[in-house]
Amino acid sequence: MQVLLLGAGTVTSRLNMQLAEQGHAVVAQIAAFTPQHLDLFDFRALVVVSPEASVAPEGLVQAAERGKLLFVIAGVGDGMSAWANGVGVPALAYPPSEVDVHKLFEEMRRAEAGNLAADDQYRRAVLGSDLSARLQSGMAVRKIAITSPKGGTGKTTVAVNLAVALALSGITTYLVDADGNAGALQYHLRMERVQTTMIGLLRREVAKAGRGVMGDVASGAAYLNAFTPLENLPTLRVLPGLITDDLGDEVLQQEDKVAEVIQGLYEAGVAAGGVVIMDVGINPAHVVHRAALKAAEGIAIVIKPEIPDLAETRRWIARMIRSLASVVGRGSAQEFVGSRVKLCYNQVVGDGFKSAHKLLQQALSEDQIELALIPNGILPIVDPRLAAQAVNSDRREDILVWRYRKEKLEELGPFAEALLGFAAHFVPAVREGAARIGLLPAAPKKRGWFRK
């Protein structure tokens, strides 16, 4: 494991040699640590010998945000020891005994085996153990499909920003490009190298023979390993989808296998304690789209409050109900759609969405479709310049909600607020996590008589 060692005393120097003997590579041993060192050195673990180093908890939090694993050696009365124990970072006594050093190496071996996760350290270091536990237990909907009845509504932009918002707020998020017409997730997230893609995973699973119980367990791990982690946001993992050359692949003709893989991705992410978001295409009749929608617990339909979008949404809902009704009956089909669908109006100006939503309800009523749909998300239009940079710049952090968290641009405050309101329909505790990391805009101060 690549290690950055912090400390300048005899204990640190002895530990440097012991790390090398255990096969770890110490990329540098430095006395003082600042966040700038995150870009200067390529390492996975940060080992802090607190009495012999100069480092603040804020610097370690930034390291955790970048996916670095943290290990602390500190005295009983050392504030760094209290901080590490408070957020669940492995902490050992100073000076370390042989037993303590052995425990450190055991923890590092656990990390290499994947049993000490960077996303869990991110949650604990950035949010604290108490909020981390509440987030993990307070998820209402873990399997989310985001779709749209037509192109150009900002569906993928919403999917990406929702995933980033959840991940920044401490929720391990698995983002899947399930657009069978060739999606664009990897471009939004500036991903050049990936573990595999949706079509690659489908080909691999089709090539496998039937498996027993142990094979099913191994399959869950294989699904998780298909995701590519983002090094600067350890709580977000991504599975890119199809590209134009893949659209006629024969594997897409095997509907049962496609459905099995989609279900497996959902189940693996949930079993790992996370939320799975699938960016689904605009055609619910496509084999990939149908599988992603059928297995979802929540279906977000992203539309603009405009007549073409309303008309297509009306047709989309009617078509989906017809398709389901042929299998389970019309009443059950309406119940399925009504219990899962969440409307998200995007690029909204003022309160114009209200009249648009009323038109949609009237149109569905004319089709004898009785659904109690409400506007679950109302995302305001964003400055076109910032929207263009979110997609076209070379910085992943220019994604709208990520940029707001880093730069606090006033123009992006309403979008971040509205997006988190939408996210709370799936994970109610997300706003608490977002507030803890500074993702929620500050509430305006009330003016009293003496401030006028």
In angstroms, rounded to a whole number, what is the distance separating the alpha carbons of residues 149 and 394?
Answer: 30
In angstroms, rounded to a whole number, what is the distance separating the alpha carbons of residues 48 and 83?
Answer: 13
- Is a pLDDT exceeding 70 seen at residue 425? yes
The CATH label, of 3.90.1300.10, 2.60.120.10, 3.30.300.30, 3.40.50.300, for the domain at 137-437 is 3.40.50.300
- Is a pLDDT exceeding 70 seen at residue 433? yes
Q: Work out whether strand 143-147 and strand 233-239 pair parallel, antiparallel, or are unpaired.
A: unpaired
In angstroms, rounded to a whole number, what is the distance separating the alpha carbons of residues 33 and 141?
Answer: 40
Residue 209 confidence class, pLDDT cut points 50, 70, 90: low
* Residue keyed to tokens 């090398």: 20
Q: Work out whether strand 298-303 and strand 143-147 pair parallel, antiparallel, or are unpaired.
A: parallel
Residue 135 confidence (pLDDT): 66
Closest by CA position to 223, among listed 260, 249, 256: 260
Instruction: Please calculate the CA angle 282-316-387 and round it to the nearest 5 degrees.
Output: 45
Q: Mean pLDDT over all residues of the chain?
A: 87
Of the listed ranges 77-91, 162-176, 403-417, the least confidently predicted one is: 77-91
Every domain of the chain and the residues it spans: 2-116, 137-437
Greatest pairwise CA separation for the chain in angstroms: 80
Q: Higher pLDDT residue, 401 or 246?
A: 401
Quickly count helices (H) and strands (E) in the chain.
20, 13
**Percent of the chain topping pLDDT 70:** 92
Q: What SS3 state is found at 298?
A: strand
Q: pLDDT of 273-287, one tens digit each?
A: 899 999 998 887 788
DSSP letters, 55-109, are --HHHHHHHHHTT-EEEEEE-TT-HHHHHHHHHT--EEESS--HHHHHHHHHHHH
In angstroms, rounded to a whole number, what is the distance separating the alpha carbons of residues 190 and 192?
Answer: 6
- Whether the domain at 2-116 and the domain at 137-437 fall into the same CATH topology: yes
* Burial readout 66-95 (b: 16 or more C-beta within 10 A, e: otherwise): bbbbbbbbbeeebebbebbeebbbbbbebb
Q: pLDDT of 308-359, one tens digit each?
A: 999 999 998 888 888 788 878 888 888 888 888 999 999 999 887 899 999 9
Q: What is the DSSP letter of 412?
A: G
pTM of the full structure: 0.84
Closest by CA position to 390, among listed 236, 168, 188, 232: 188
Query: Is-contact 374 406, C-beta < 8 A?
Result: no
Query: CATH class for domain 2-116?
Result: alpha beta
Of the listed ranges 111-125, 175-189, 355-369, the least confidently predicted one is: 111-125
